[in-house]
Amino acid sequence: MYFLKKSMIIVLGSILLSLGINLFLVPYEILDGGIIGIGLICYYVWGFKAGLMIIFLSIPIFLIAWFYYRDYFYNSLHGMVISSFFIDILKPNDTLLHIEAIYSSIMGGILVGLGIGIMLRFRTSTGGTDLLAQFLSDRTGVNVGILIFIIDALVILSGGLILSSDTLQLSIITILTVGLTTSIFTSKVANG
């Protein structure tokens, strides 16, 4: 029963994340942080499928997980594959809504944050750079939160330089909204 519930949570979280990306971020070339952000840069610049790029870019990270963080490997592999699938399958919906860019970045951040928060509550995730940050933290002693922030900042700054200053500004709003939404959701669910 728990496996079925966890599977449903992964699907629900992945759909929310994918809708946030496709309905609100993609129309304005807005980025999220981490591997998702790199996958979006690949889509915006070269037209590669973002979900497929997320899987491809995650291979080295999941190899690290296999050898050093086996629980993380098992708890995140399904989330990464399913969310990547939904990102690509729901891509045609990127023209359904038209709202101002700033509101789009906020709404996208809320949906992505909810998707991530739901999965984190059930001890699963989409994988990505969180594991890389954990690995670097274990090796260097630097706080994992600081490392995640640095990695996300590098992705957003790179995207801003490659794409536009609008991308940079809107992406900053998005990752702040994602972080806030994820924190609020996981805190309320955990305490409530």
Q: Has residue 188 got a pLDDT over 70?
A: no
**Mean pLDDT over the full length of the chain:** 89
Other beta carbons less than 10 A from residue 137's beta carbon: 16
Assess whether pLDDT exceeds 80 at residue 130.
no
The H or E element containing residue 42 is: helix 34-46
pTM: 0.89
**Closest to 80 measured CA to CA, from 34, 134, 138:** 34
Residue written as tokens 């997320």?
A: 54
pLDDT tens per residue across span 35-51:
999 999 999 999 999 99
If residue 22 lies in a helix (H) or strand (E), which one and from where to where? none
What are 55-106's pLDDT values in tens digits?
999 999 999 889 988 888 888 898 999 999 999 999 887 778 889 999 999 9
